[in-house]
Structure 1
Amino acid sequence: MQRHEPLGGAEFAPETTYLNSASSGLLPRRSADALRAAVEEATSYGTMGRDYFAAPAAARAAFARLLGIPAERVAIGSSVAVQSAAVAASLPPGSEVLAPEGDFSSLVNPLGTHPDLTLRTVPLEALADEVRPGTALVAFSAVQSLDGRIADLAAVREAAAAHGALTYLDATQAAGWLPLAATDYDFLVCGAFKWLLCPRGTTFMAFGGDRGPDGTGPAWPAAPHAGWVAGEDIGESNYGLIRPAATARRYDEPHAHFAYVGAAASLGLIEELGVAAVHAHNTALADQYRAGLAERGLTPRGAPGSAIVSAPGPADAQERLAEAGVRISVRGGLLRAAFHLYNGTADVERLLELLK
């Protein structure tokens, strides 16, 4: 068996065996240092720092590079649910939204509870086949939070295009380790506090397709939560009605300053390592874990190629693992292990040993 050492070097030295990136990622050392400096700065310059907009600008640009889309098409926010509500508000009354059964609530709930929309859910494996002429939007996660299953991204895109449906991809469980291109989707949202290692409160929304402000395609949808940071001239957008920014910044929320200070640093690390390298590392560890489970007579939930592995375990497994310093989660009655850049073969071996 080929051994894999953690990536990131001195950026990580956790006191735990951390296998819970599907819940939240570890903060790199550089991000922690940046946050400490920002907190200290706030004691003299206020909680918006000396430059409130520098960190989100850097984070927006880094996210755009990672997802292969111009920064002008990326908005920043605080939660996937808020961005999903904005997508819901952009659809014509009576629209049908198609989504996988059991997809993450922050993605589908704002769509399903909108009074003018109808949400239809189908098994993930049938998603592409279930797109029909009346479908206005297909909303789905690239990787399922529950068990790590990866959607057939190409098939869904092709089916949506064939029926004139828009696509809305949640990349929260994928961005940072699974290669993606935001330009392949009309809307792409990402809660960046998991695999992108950002502080909680960091969310990005990318607008792909051909819509935009240049007049060559469909216009930007309305920005229902636009505040002062969404104005074209921020200095003139504090009072009264504003003129929305010509770019996706019109969908920005007033950001949590400390969250984006950390985000700018964390995204820089992902860029340095490269998503392709992280993907190869994560999936190799996940495959080693699957093989070890099979040797012990345990069958993981089918999710080939995923960095997330969900499998049955002893009833007290989570408690025993926590006592041993192993951070892991239980979803749907299964132990969910998430392998990321700061893990190595030694973590796989330790988890398997403890599951005996």
Structure 2
Amino acid sequence: MDGGPGGQHSGPMETFESLVRAEFTPKTTYLNTASTGLLPARTVTAMHTAVEAAAVGRPTDMFTDVEESRASYARLTGVPVDRVAAGASVAVYSGLIAAALPEGAEVLTAEGDFSSVVNPFHVRSGLKVRTVALERVAEAVRPGTALVAVSAAQSADGRIADLPAIREAARVHGARTYVDASQAVGWLDFDADAYDYTAAVAFKWLFCPRGVTFLTVPGDLGGLSPVFAGWVAGEEPWDSCYGPVEELARSARRFDESPALFSYAGARRSLALLEEIGVAAVREHDLSLAERFRAGLGALGHAPVPAPGSPIVSVPGLGHRQSALSGVGIEVSDRAGNLRAAFHLYNTPADVDRLLDALSG
């Protein structure tokens, strides 16, 4: 990538830092990406443009934004674009998968996983949901397990599932896999092609607006029935507006929800920025900050929940500090009494040190 005076080639770190400085201008020490990511300047501009154009009766082509977002997400997760559905909610896609399971099917889940991942399987009547500790998911797959549903990284504390072991156990026992990558895509080296189904909201580590979620399915569409299909799920959407849809999309687009168009107008730019910077560079940056924080916690006598290789750090017993920290401009989360900090591309070592200084008082 060209950059700097005279268009000279800039180094990877210089490119990373210049892009981040140009796109993100936090006014706080924002360490809460596991809740909501910050929006890049280009995304805010695109959404302003789309809203203002709609206000004067000249709307931009936001359906093209949906397709560009879908294509970008496909590249980021290593699947063909025709295997990506665009929607708004992980819970909806979990429900779609739950609805496709046969009566009496066993679903294996992780203890304490995010509700949007697991609850649709509990409310679908006729399923047998079995829950085990995250560390035991792979060994708990057994003959008769129909589906393993798990988050790649736990929302509460950042622990990373042993996805290769889970995938292999599922293969051995003939189970399908469903991975929620909401807390992973954007920093983890995540290959959606390795699993039957994956879903992810984009308003966290993909720093998109709320209202953007993606589902990936196998090439044969994974036996899913498009139970909520509307006109956008048609092979020719604009010919599918009235009456029953004559032909559903032959791709994963048959699982599209009617899109939140203004959100996708922004998402297109956010995902393009991530592709420009590169997930590998983001991961290296995020994990170095998390390790700096873990080391500093040790010096203060605090032990975080073990979550090696994760940019999410959860500290037992410090959740009550969240409100006071917010009062001095340090944004973190309180999760079940734990203080949760999440480090992303717009954070710096100074942010880490400020949080540590605050916790030492």
TM (norm. structure 1) is 0.94
Change in 2 beyond 3 A, CA 1:6/1:292: farther
Query: What code does the residue aligned with 2:24 have?
Result: F
Measured in 2, the distance between the counterparts of 1:316 and 1:303 equals 21
Taking only the aligned residue pairs, the percentage that are identical comes to 54
Q: Does 1:174 align with 2:184?
A: yes
**Contact 2:187–2:279, Cα closer than 8 Å, also in 1:** yes
The 5-angstrom pairing of residues 33-182 of structure 1 reads: 33-45=45-57, 49-182=59-192
Measured in 1, the distance between the counterparts of 2:18 and 2:64 equals 31
Query: What code does the residue aligned with 1:160 have?
Result: A
Measured in 2, the distance between the counterparts of 1:144 and 1:315 equals 17
Count of residue pairs the alignment pairs up:
344
Shift of 1:220: 4.4
Measured in 2, the distance between the counterparts of 1:27 and 1:273 equals 15
**Contact 1:6–1:344, Cα closer than 8 Å, also in 2:** no
Shift of 1:91: 1.1
Change in 2 beyond 3 A, CA 1:264/1:241: same
**Contact 1:94–1:117, Cα closer than 8 Å, also in 2:** yes
Query: What code does the residue aligned with 1:161 have?
Result: R
Q: Does 1:230 align with 2:242?
A: no
Measured in 1, the distance between the counterparts of 2:319 and 2:109 equals 32
**Contact 2:319–2:339, Cα closer than 8 Å, also in 1:** no
> Partner residue of 2:20?
8
**Contact 1:7–1:341, Cα closer than 8 Å, also in 2:** no
> Partner residue of 2:195?
185
SS at match of 2:340: strand
> Partner residue of 1:355?
359
Measured in 1, the distance between the counterparts of 2:51 and 2:205 equals 24
**Contact 1:142–1:169, Cα closer than 8 Å, also in 2:** yes
SS at match of 2:140: coil
SS at match of 2:56: helix
Q: Does 1:197 align with 2:207?
A: yes
Measured in 1, the distance between the counterparts of 2:358 and 2:52 equals 42
Unpaired segments of 5 or more residues in structure 1? 213-218
Change in 2 beyond 3 A, CA 1:80/1:93: same
Higher helix share: 2
> Partner residue of 1:299?
303
Spell out, residue by residue over 1:223-277, the C-alpha distance to the aligned partner (whole angstroms, 9 max, x if none).
0100000001112101111111000000001001111011001001110111111
Change in 2 beyond 3 A, CA 1:7/1:103: farther
- Which of structure 1's runs of 4+ aligned residues deviate more than 6 A? 4-7
**Contact 2:319–2:333, Cα closer than 8 Å, also in 1:** no
Change in 2 beyond 3 A, CA 1:292/1:128: same
Shift of 1:89: 0.9
TM (norm. structure 2) is 0.93
Shift of 1:90: 1.2
The 5-angstrom pairing of residues 259-278 of structure 1 reads: 259-278=263-282
Question: What RMSD in Å do the two structures reach over aligned CA positions?
Answer: 1.4
Measured in 2, the distance between the counterparts of 1:52 and 1:266 equals 15
